[in-house]
Structure 1
């Protein structure tokens, strides 16, 4: 009996390319020294933006970039970051360092142009005003002779930009204001009203959603969707709802080392990563009650691994190294997003450079592509493909992982997969979490397929900080069954031609 069934001929939802998004905050060395080195740096740059970082991000087809935070967003006043005379402020949230605002709105939008991607700007609800955020939208997107458009032209930009994605605050339940859900729900409606569409720039407003499993927050916010008695469409105030969930070791208080961990700690981390599936399912079920046609997208705009800071580093800079374990967290999480394509519209890995589960690390002129970068590189082909659900059979191999406290044991599947179809070709991603080799088998129904190629990501040990990506010849089809021979703790991507 095969492990799973894939129906090649059934229609499915489109896997949004925005699920593969990224996040850059004014935190540690993400912006300064990471993305921005200043125009006088000997490192090749475009008005201060590192060109090697730009090229490495273009290689993985980055679809969107969230900025300026994170927690920093609700301390950020955008007018501090425009013009010639920019004030300094204290970044008390991350390392208690002085922020000189040399990387602001125009620099970010230049980065967006260099990357050929879409901006996602998170506005200040916690310490800002409705007027402030409304004017930022106008400054960026309005083309006539309005006050903010004139100010933009004074600062050297004639034509407006296109900025679709706007976050209405960040973690308003915590660092973004310590708000109650009822209070924030009203603010989401208020800010959504005054953050207006200008010209042909149509906003996609992303309301601050829950912290992990705060289902009451989702319930309260979604209850505001509906007939508001004002002729407004149900989703006029926000079109997306965010969700944050990080992967760590035994507990939030015992995150564990990034590089020195036991096999048991590996299983704790992978169970924590797999919890993303439960969180999306349960929050989506609440959303379905108020939004049955799924017009509002779930936006997982912060996710990734969070280990103890690297010894000797500023603990507020969230510096951590990576191993094969981080790559497997990324492969499993992206599969989960793909498999929830009917609700998950966007996701953003934390963070792009030098912070948490970064895809890139810089050290002076040196640039390193992390294990996670390679996972995103291999996943590119899933973006905007049609989901082909992988139906696992009941005897799927699992491992029981015990948790501290009231949470029940996690039945962690040892095989994870997602499949998409586009332009007559199927892309199948398969992760083997087991500490031993295995063969995954898939019953392909409703069509015929031939193996066109594949790639394999693995390392000799879970704790290796370098992974290898090689051509993969371990996939074969016989009698309509696709067999994938996987080494221990590995990730494979297989391309199949469909007929």
Structure 2
């Protein structure tokens, strides 16, 4: 009898939770102090799979429409996102990359074997000049990852000179010989990548000494000022952060952090498009766990650097599922509505900590992991994640507005709890407020009430990204299953903005 009463009580609780479809948001414009750096929306392009060759670069002789060798469709799509910064050439590839192999006449460039990713032979037709010219075409800041793992101090020092010196020096003259008279402006320089793993399997103490040595010879030439980023920790490795803050400290401008929403590093990570609701909610919990990880790394950094001179750079993040069946290109995965929610929820977290987080780079821009774009021959597809970045670009360089959010939560496996609504808000330089809302709930509409009594509202418009199923994605056969549409279900009445969020939807509102 007691067992039956317990089951009945649980069912009643479940029904009560299911019927509760409301959430409340209170925004505090007067408390807005921090700017959301546009670099929070950074991208990452590694020589991995078909990210570079076939994704960004096809060469001028290709029958795929191109602009000076860059895919025209991809180039235009990235311009729409207002990409602020692009990281290159890795990733693990960076610490095997010797930059002099990728300069000069293309027919003279030596081939190389990409030992990190599938043993693919690359012809080095996409090198330093091609990358930096791409950044100029996109109007974005280059972020160079230097080779510390297998390269020398001299090699990295000469690379910086080649790119940034305007003097009568050997490397500057070599650049001129290769067709570039004036130097590029390079702000971000990574001194190694994942030095705890593929970048050399180092201890933090050893890497700290290497960083001090390598960074010493990376000089500022002719008005170019490097923002030097040390190779930081992988997710839960707090010791690495502690040692670098203690042993390197203010000698670095930034410290990297990598965090992936991944099922496991060994064996199957799960399909990108075939998964259950339980798998979906688990992914939401795992991606939100980045907030706890960020706070713990920040606490360590605050101990050594209370003035926050050293930036935290989450320069690899995103989902990592099994490679798409039948596709030989390494780490090529599809991109569903689940990935879109990982993007929106993670960006909402980043916005809260921009007093320390100065840049993040989702992995990766084309055809690899949680990419913006997929390509196959002459075809191109925009992913749900692309549309999230498109919706959220209004937050770039805007003032973050603190808010309170009350909503239902759901418990998921591994003792994680997931709020069913996520929200973030900002005010741009024209005084326009943008609010992004995500309804994580797979089944229920959420009626969100936003208290706007403390600021004037004359007009509300918006965009929505939603689909019928959490596994929905865009394919080359059906490229528009998931796409942005106008959102009109937001109304202001008596100081409250009432928003009806369909199940599985992401909305960005523009409030004037």
Please tell me the TM-score bracket, short chain as reference: over 0.9
TM-superposed CA distance for 1:253, in Å, is 4.2
What is the match of residue 230 of structure 1?
none
Aligned to 1:103: 126
**Cα distance in 1 between the residues matched to 2:193 and 2:371:** 20
Question: Among 436, 454, 467, which residue is 2:462 paired with?
Answer: 454
Cross-structure match for 2:450: 442
CA offset digits 1:99-119 (Å, max 9, x no partner): 111110111111112111111
CA distance in 2, matches of 1:381, 1:75: 37
Q: 1:93 aligns with which of 116, 129, 135?
A: 116
Q: Tell me what 2:215 maps to.
A: 192
Deviation of 1:444 after TM superposition, in Å, equals 3.3
1:429 to 416, 426, 436: 436
- The alignment status of 1:361 with 2:359, answered yes or no, reads no
Matched, 1:464 2:472: yes
Q: Does structure 2 conserve the Cα–Cα contact (< 8 Å) formed by 1:250 and 1:268?
A: no
Q: Does the residue aligned with 2:121 lie in a helix, a strand or coil?
A: strand
| Deviation readout 1:4-23 (Å, 9 max, x if unpaired) | 32112223200000000101
The 5 A counterparts of 1:269-348 are: 269-314=283-328, 317-348=330-361
1:379-402 alpha-carbon deviations (Å, 9 max, x no partner): 111000000012234xx3211122
Q: Distance in 2 between matches of 1:220 and 1:4?
A: 40
1:15 and 2:36 matched: yes
- RMSD over equivalenced CA pairs, Å: 1.5
Q: How does 1:256-275 map to 2 (within 5 A)?
A: 256-275=270-289
The DSSP-based 3-state class of the residue aligned with 1:268 is helix
What's 1:374 paired with? 387
Counterparts of 1:75-90 in structure 2, within 5 Å, are 75-84=96-105, 85-90=108-113
Secondary structure, counterpart of 1:285 in structure 2: helix
Q: How many angstroms does 1:2 deviate by? A: 6.3
Runs ≥4 residues deviating over 6 A: none
TM-score of the aligned structures, taking structure 2 as reference length: 0.91
Q: Distance in 1 between matches of 2:199 and 2:265?
A: 23
| Mapped partners of 2:265, 2:451: distance in 1 | 38
**Contact 2:340–2:388 (8 Å) recurs in 1:** yes
1:387 matches 2:400: yes
How many angstroms does 1:451 deviate by? 3.8
Is 2:34 aligned against 1:35?
no
Unaligned runs of 5+ in 1: 227-234, 404-408
| Alpha-carbon distance in structure 1 between the residues aligned to 2:241 and 2:458 | 44
Partner of 1:420: 426
1:141 aligned to 2:164?
A: yes
Q: Separation in 2 of the partners of 1:219 and 1:388?
A: 31
Matched, 1:60 2:60: no
**1:357-378 CA deviation, whole Å, 9 max, x = no partner?**
1111111111111111111110
Distance 2:214 2:376 in 1: 40
Q: How many residues matched?
A: 480
Question: Structure 1: how far apart are the matches of 2:455 and 2:279?
Answer: 42
In the TM superposition, what is the alpha-carbon distance from 1:63 to its structure 2 partner?
0.6
Q: Describe the shift of the 1:377–1:6 C-alpha distance in structure 2 as closer, same or farther (beyond 3 A).
A: same
Give the SS at the match of 2:166. coil
TM-score for both structures, normalised by structure 1: 0.93
The CA distance in 2 between the partners of 1:445 and 1:343, in whole Å, is 31
Larger radius of gyration: 2
Given that 1:450 and 1:477 are in contact with CA atoms closer than 8 Å, whether structure 2 keeps it comes out as no
Change (3 A) 1:38 1:303: same
Answer yes or no: is the 8 Å Cα contact 1:45–1:51 preserved in 2. yes
User: Residues 168-179 of structure 1: matches in 2 within 5 Å?
Assistant: 168-179=191-202
In the alignment, the residues of structure 2 paired with residue 479 and residue 285 of structure 1 have an alpha-carbon distance, to the nearest angstrom, of 42
Native 8 Å contact 2:423 2:437 kept in 1: yes
Structure 2: 5+ residue stretches without partners? 1-21, 474-480
Give distance in 2, aligned partners of 1:421 and 1:6. Answer: 11
CA shift for structure 1 position 225: 4.6
- Pairing 1:214–2:237 present: yes
Distance 2:331 2:469 in 1: 24
Indicate the SS of the match to 1:449: coil
Where do residues 117-136 of structure 1 align in structure 2 (5 Å cutoff)?
117-136=140-159
Larger fraction in helix: 2
